[in-house]
Structure 1
Amino acid sequence: MSIMGLRSHGCPRHWALLLLFVSYTCAWYLPGYSIKRYNDDEPIPLLVNKIFSDHTQLQYAYFDLPFVCPASGEKHVGSPFASGHSVSQNLGEILRGDRIMTSDFELHMGKNVECRALCTKEVGRKDVNWGRQLITEGYVVEWIADNLPGATSFVTVDRSRKYYASGFKLGYREFSPVDGKQRYYINNHFTIVIRWRSAPEGGKVVVGFEIYPKSIRAEDHTENGCPEHVHGDHDGLELHIPPNLDRLREMYPGSSYLPEDDGYDDGATLKVPITYSVYFKEENGVEWSNRWDLYFSKQDESSMTHWLAVLNSLTICGVLGVAVYVIWNRTVQGDIKGRGDGAMEDGKFKRGGAKKEGLLDQATDVERDGDLDSDEEGIDDVSGWKLLHADVFRVPQFSGLLAPLIGSGMQLLFMTTGLLLLSCLGILNPSFRGGFVSVGMGLFIFAGLFSGYFSGSLYKTFGGVSWRKNTLITALLFPGLTFSLVFILNLFVWAQASSTAIPFGTLVGIVALWLLIQVPLVYVGSWYGFMRAKPWEHPTKTSSIPRQIPPQPWYLHSVQGTILTGLAPFAVLFIELLFVFKNLWQDKSGYYYVFGFLSAVTSILVVTVSEVTIIATYSQLCSENYHWWWQSFLTGGSSAFWVFAYCIWYYYFHLHITGFVSSLLFFSYSLLACTVYGLLIGTVGFLTAYAFIRRIYSSVKVD
């Protein structure tokens, strides 16, 4: 039916436009939705990436390993690039340590290969020792075919379901039954299984990519490089070079104990023949659109836990909501409308029609403290927060730092909202490798406009005059500290020759994005916020003489009290944090997909932080303490302390990270993430407190 036909049948115009829009979007490329169809005997490129481990934060490029076949540099059928060619990657892939390159493995749709020899690599003693270390630390290998990571296949205990784990083991270790010593074996034969199904439009699509590694000793290989019975039982290829006893006797004369490995290199080598098999299996039970589901089966099993997390969050949020409702009733409905506690008009309290001028005069009362003491007994029934009407909007200390922090917080808030929205819509999906980081970086840079605008507007509200200085602080403070930390950590990773290290060219590119794009955007936003936008209007005027603040309860002026306010937001978040941490630090796949649950918990978290900040701010005002600006920011972000404490607990009780550099990376990046989280949530708390205070003080007016 045409669009005109739709209109003639009473369909609204906007529906017709929507259908037209959808018809055009079908022609767009959304990452993860581009289907590749193969004909029989058409080559399927196999890309090699990296090795990674749950026990360390250091990753290594596949071709940097000494016991793999180096790239031959030859072009294979159907590939425009020679083997060893680096595939172009986005910023997110580079930052997560991906080093994707073409390989010499040959896969042709529908063509099974019983065995094919790739090469025989000779490795020395140092390489053997490094291989043992990698196997001890549980490294796994990641290959990619048709944008799917090569997976190890598992079945559930009841054998009712199958699921994938990204990557396959580099090798394994076991105890020898002869001497009881631990032996290390390298996987050198790979059985590649490509699962496919017919596409309705013609051709075949890949719906699964499985790899079954095996260790076969060199003596079992024939002249053609393959074992005689490749799928039979074989002894494994042990990573072991017999010691040179004559050399050891010379180095340790008269010693009864000769170490097998003391770090010497006498030129002895170990031959590692590398072979592979390829099989194609038809799989009609999996749709192409659902081919990633097998990677998420383990996360699917925890859906009940996610629902419990949402229920826990709603319960906490509801309890705090009741407290906020009581406070709101007391201030706006009770104190203002009919309890006879007094009202305020134009900054002056009235009681029974008689004005108490001279008690709280706003601008010229130079004897304010004396008047307050003399009339103190006559205003005992006035709520404490009302007494602060002439001080509550007084400019805080270090306002030149608070404005840039709020600006950076708004920048992070925009970025986070955009990422969650795009993830829930499916645009940022697992097949868009590195997309989450890349898009997040783009949103952060673009949000420099918001950062500059809010920082400049708030700075103007505080009465600042050096808006260019405020702009520089906003544009350089948070990004500069973040980049400095990443650069210093990168030096440690560079020293380990790990692919996790950010290349120098990428660092230069990041600096260019920061200085050449974000800084100008912050400048434009700050100029508009300071020069064009009006300052934030306050419902009451500020007196010239600050009010004396009475002694405060411990929970209102101590660090412990501020930290305790972060328990409620942390209680909302900590269950979902367990899944996020497991994905980031253990699975290492980067394929966290339950963004619907995460978005729900995040929304509840924002509401909870707002409620906690309102309660804390109201308690502070009732104690006649008008220093709420910084306190609301710290109260909102105080849950970051508990998140970092949770990181420490997770490190000691769930992770098995070894090595100084890996531990340094964990704690440094955890601290950075908690700082970002605290800045973001602290901004939410600040804005909530400001809106709440404006509302209650603008309502305290009667005729």
Structure 2
Amino acid sequence: MEISRSLRSFSWIATVLVLLSIMAPPASCFYLPGVAPADFQKRDPLSVKANKLTSIKTQLPYSYYSLPYCKPDKIVDSAENLGEVLRGDRIENSPYVFQMREAQMCQIVCKIPINEKEAKELKEKIEDEYRVNMILDNLPLVVPFKRSDQEGVVYQHGFHVGVKGQYAGSKEEKYFINNHLSFLVKFHKDPETDLARIVGFEVKPFSVKHEFEGEWNGNKTRLTTCDPHSKRLVTNSDTPHEVVANKDIIFTFDVDFEESDIKWASRWDTYLLMTDDQIHWFSIVNSLMIVLFLSGMVAMIMLRTLYRDISKYNQLETQEEAQEETGWKLVHGDVFRPPIYSDLLCVYVGSGVQLFCMVLVTMIFALLGFLSPSNRGGLMTAMVLLWVFMGLFAGYASSRLYKMFKGTEWKNVTLKTAVMFPGVISGIFFVLNALIWGEKSSGALPFTTMFALVLLWFGISVPLVFAGSYIGFKKPAMEDPVKTNKIPRQIPEQAWYMNPVFSILIGGILPFGAVFIELFFILTSIWLHQFYYIFGFLFLVFVILIITCAEITIVLCYFQLCSEDYLWWWRSYLTAGSSALYLFLYATFYFFTKLEITKLVSGILYFGYMLIASYAFFVLTGTIGFFACFWFTRLIYSSVKID
């Protein structure tokens, strides 16, 4: 009955939190602390910032000025947080500067001669479909276009470096650079004052083979292909500019301003609604209904079966009846016997607690709007810092479990807890970073950032793990509900369906089924460069993941104990943790069906990062399953009479 009340209470609390999070306004509607909207008067200067070059085909970002683009008199790097550096952002000023609410037509930026090396780099970037990302007033640049399969306008992040195709009847494919940018800045005007706020930043790129009269005179040169006094932005856009070595490229731009009814607080909604919400809603609701139905069935069966077992065991009166009993009560003298490799289990449980606390707090901050996409790099920064400070809970959890196993070398276990999991992640990440550095990509971490990460790890996280371990080890050890026999009981031969490997693999299917639909959107946001913003749904899926991991582990643990197999410690961890295997297999399926990656280095990067994600998912789900089974076994064996 206590189990039933606990489950019902938890379900009610989770349901209320989820409904509030889903019904809450988007994260973009919240003002970030210390970030105020910028008010612009008429003719205030607007400076466009250049960000990295990105491609969904290579997943390797590059600096904007790695290509022969026009440069300002002095290149100034913007201050970037840890998350932006980890994402490969490189934000710098650009020569695109214009006045607020002052339209400009056919403005010359510069003329650049292209040598053979630069022409080759341009062709490679065009071949790999690289996009140029720019920022104005913290808004990313988007390209509007219509799709035939749906109404309205959708947006693409950044504009392509150029296009590849045939021209003028030639069968040979050529490369054309987008050297003319037609900007559109949308603003919302205050009805009482003359102040305005930028709410949209769009562009239409063109490839134009510019021609001019007389000698080149910088910005004052008169172009015959562009009329600055006409509303027609490009008068000769039918002649694209081919990328050819030892020929000049003239870069130009237009800018127009349009008043919009969109308010500043809602300006990110356009960027966040780039996916088909109907499919997202239907998929999430469908997954939620299936998982909740299965969870309800499992919970009901478990509660009825356990209540019957406990009542039967407590009503046994005679010695003959006690000798004839079967089931999980028979192994009460061995069920709390410390497992093999108990030190390693403590280490993984501690790391899982640290990861769980980090994920939980990160999601809470995201629900409150502090980690919206408008705060670039905020999510990554929060995850790294929270991981560091949650080391206190990792040390506490591992030491408490280790002391229950009657261990004495707590310092050794604490050091492994502080180093093992992040060490594996760091090792894989270091190899991937070396590959990125070899490709001369801006995604490679600078030495100073790597030093800062190591300093956070060994300067803050490791001491906190030791502090938590010291506190946990000083507390009295948890007492087992029943005594453990000195001689281990022989485990009878098990049925084929209770084979450890089979039951572990079966146990991971349900937790993976709870998240695989949302996983599709997460992978899309990461590898196809789209924003992920529905943190309410993500929190809902996380709650479902916790429930399903706990329930499937408890059910399989109960069947295992009923079969008189008391080696449940590691199996409970691996049962829920095996869902990480299905996650990696799904990532492999996603790679071959949704992505167009062809380069070896890009493929290694994808599978390397997905291996890190799967490993973290294994530690997280395994810890959830372990604690659920740990609580379950202590509860049932403390509820029966043991002679």
- TM-score, normalised to structure 2, is 0.90
SS in 2 for 1:699: coil
SS in 1 for 2:96: coil
The residue number in structure 2 matching 1:4 is: none
Q: Distance in 2 between matches of 1:195 and 1:44?
A: 13
Alignment root-mean-square deviation, CA: 2.0
Q: Which moved more, 1:155-164 or 1:272-281?
A: 155-164
The residue number in structure 2 matching 1:232 is: 235
Deviations 1:50-105 (A, max 9, x none): 1101111111010121x2013321xxxxxxxxxx1110100000000000011222
SS in 1 for 2:181: strand
Alignment counterpart, residue 269 of structure 2, candidates 293, 299, 305: 293
Deviations 1:350-389 (A, max 9, x none): 843x457xxxxxxxxxxxxxxxxxxxxx657523100011
The residue number in structure 2 matching 1:325 is: 300
Q: Are 1:581 and 2:523 counterparts?
A: yes
Q: Which amino acid aligns with 1:401?
A: L
The residue number in structure 1 matching 2:176 is: 185
The 1:438–1:322 alpha-carbon spacing in structure 2 relative to 1, beyond 3 Å, is same
Q: Which amino acid aligns with 2:208?
A: I
SS in 2 for 1:176: coil
Q: Are 1:465 and 2:456 counterparts?
A: no
Q: Which amino acid aligns with 2:242?
A: E
SS in 2 for 1:641: helix
Q: Distance in 1 between matches of 2:71 and 2:198?
A: 27
SS in 2 for 1:47: strand
4+ runs of 1 displaced by more than 6 Å?
A: none
SS in 2 for 1:45: strand
Q: Are 1:500 and 2:443 counterparts?
A: yes
Alignment counterpart, residue 374 of structure 2, candidates 428, 431, 453: 431
SS in 2 for 1:219: coil
How much does 1:304 deviate? 4.3
Contact 1:186 1:239 in 2 (8 A): yes
SS in 2 for 1:194: strand
SS in 2 for 1:568: helix
Contact 2:503 2:575 in 1 (8 A): no
The residue number in structure 1 matching 2:60 is: 58
How much does 1:156 deviate? 5.3
How much does 1:535 deviate? 2.2
Query: 1:542-621 residue pairs with structure 2 within 5 A?
Result: 542-586=484-528, 588-589=529-530, 591-621=531-561
Q: Which amino acid aligns with 1:335?
A: D
SS in 2 for 1:142: strand
Contact 2:31 2:265 in 1 (8 A): no
Q: Distance in 1 between matches of 2:292 and 2:629?
A: 17
Q: Which amino acid aligns with 1:574?
A: F
Q: Which moved more, 1:311-320 or 1:533-542?
A: 311-320
Contact 1:32 1:429 in 2 (8 A): no
Deviations 1:277-312 (A, max 9, x none): 22111112x12111111112232x324433432332
Q: Distance in 2 between matches of 1:62 and 1:404?
A: 44
Alignment counterpart, residue 196 of structure 1, candidates 184, 187, 190: 187
Q: Are 1:123 and 2:114 counterparts?
A: yes
Contact 1:195 1:208 in 2 (8 A): yes
The residue number in structure 2 matching 1:18 is: none
The 1:622–1:37 alpha-carbon spacing in structure 2 relative to 1, beyond 3 Å, is same
Deviations 1:530-588 (A, max 9, x none): 11x232232111111111111122333342431121111111111111111111111x1
The residue number in structure 2 matching 1:176 is: 167
How much does 1:397 deviate? 0.5
Q: Which amino acid aligns with 2:272?
A: F
How much does 1:38 deviate? 0.6
SS in 2 for 1:181: coil
The residue number in structure 2 matching 1:281 is: 258
SS in 2 for 1:280: strand
The residue number in structure 2 matching 1:660 is: 600
SS in 1 for 2:99: coil
Contact 2:346 2:401 in 1 (8 A): yes
Q: Which moved more, 1:453-462 or 1:124-133?
A: 124-133
How much does 1:31 deviate? 5.5
Query: 1:219-368 residue pairs with structure 2 within 5 A?
Result: 219=211, 223=216, 224-225=220-221, 226=223, 227-229=225-227, 230-234=233-237, 235-241=239-245, 269-284=246-261, 286-299=262-275, 301-331=276-306, 333-337=307-311, 339=312, 342-343=313-314, 351-352=316-317, 354-355=318-319
The 1:394–1:420 alpha-carbon spacing in structure 2 relative to 1, beyond 3 Å, is same
Query: 1:88-99 residue pairs with structure 2 within 5 A?
Result: 88-99=79-90
Q: Distance in 2 between matches of 1:616 and 1:552?
A: 14
The 1:221–1:488 alpha-carbon spacing in structure 2 relative to 1, beyond 3 Å, is farther
Query: 1:446-525 residue pairs with structure 2 within 5 A?
Result: 446-525=389-468
Q: Which amino acid aligns with 1:681?
A: T
SS in 2 for 1:208: strand
The residue number in structure 1 matching 2:12 is: none
Runs (5+) with no aligned partner, structure 1: 1-27, 74-83, 242-268, 344-349, 357-377
Q: Are 1:44 and 2:18 counterparts?
A: no
SS in 2 for 1:178: coil
Q: Distance in 1 between matches of 2:580 and 2:34?
A: 34
Q: Distance in 2 between matches of 1:217 and 1:108?
A: 27
Q: Which amino acid aligns with 1:70?
A: K
The 1:130–1:546 alpha-carbon spacing in structure 2 relative to 1, beyond 3 Å, is same
The 1:184–1:392 alpha-carbon spacing in structure 2 relative to 1, beyond 3 Å, is same
Contact 1:31 1:428 in 2 (8 A): no
Contact 1:145 1:209 in 2 (8 A): yes
The 1:42–1:530 alpha-carbon spacing in structure 2 relative to 1, beyond 3 Å, is same
Contact 2:106 2:226 in 1 (8 A): no
Alignment counterpart, residue 213 of structure 1, candidates 198, 205, 219: 205
Q: Which moved more, 1:398-407 or 1:380-389?
A: 380-389
How much does 1:159 deviate? 7.9
The 1:172–1:32 alpha-carbon spacing in structure 2 relative to 1, beyond 3 Å, is farther
The 1:220–1:662 alpha-carbon spacing in structure 2 relative to 1, beyond 3 Å, is farther
Rg (Cα) greater in structure: 1
The residue number in structure 2 matching 1:14 is: none
Query: 1:131-150 residue pairs with structure 2 within 5 A?
Result: 131-150=122-141
The residue number in structure 1 matching 2:574 is: 634
Q: Which amino acid aligns with 2:393?
A: F
Runs (5+) with no aligned partner, structure 2: 1-29, 228-232
How much does 1:317 deviate? 3.4
Contact 2:482 2:642 in 1 (8 A): no
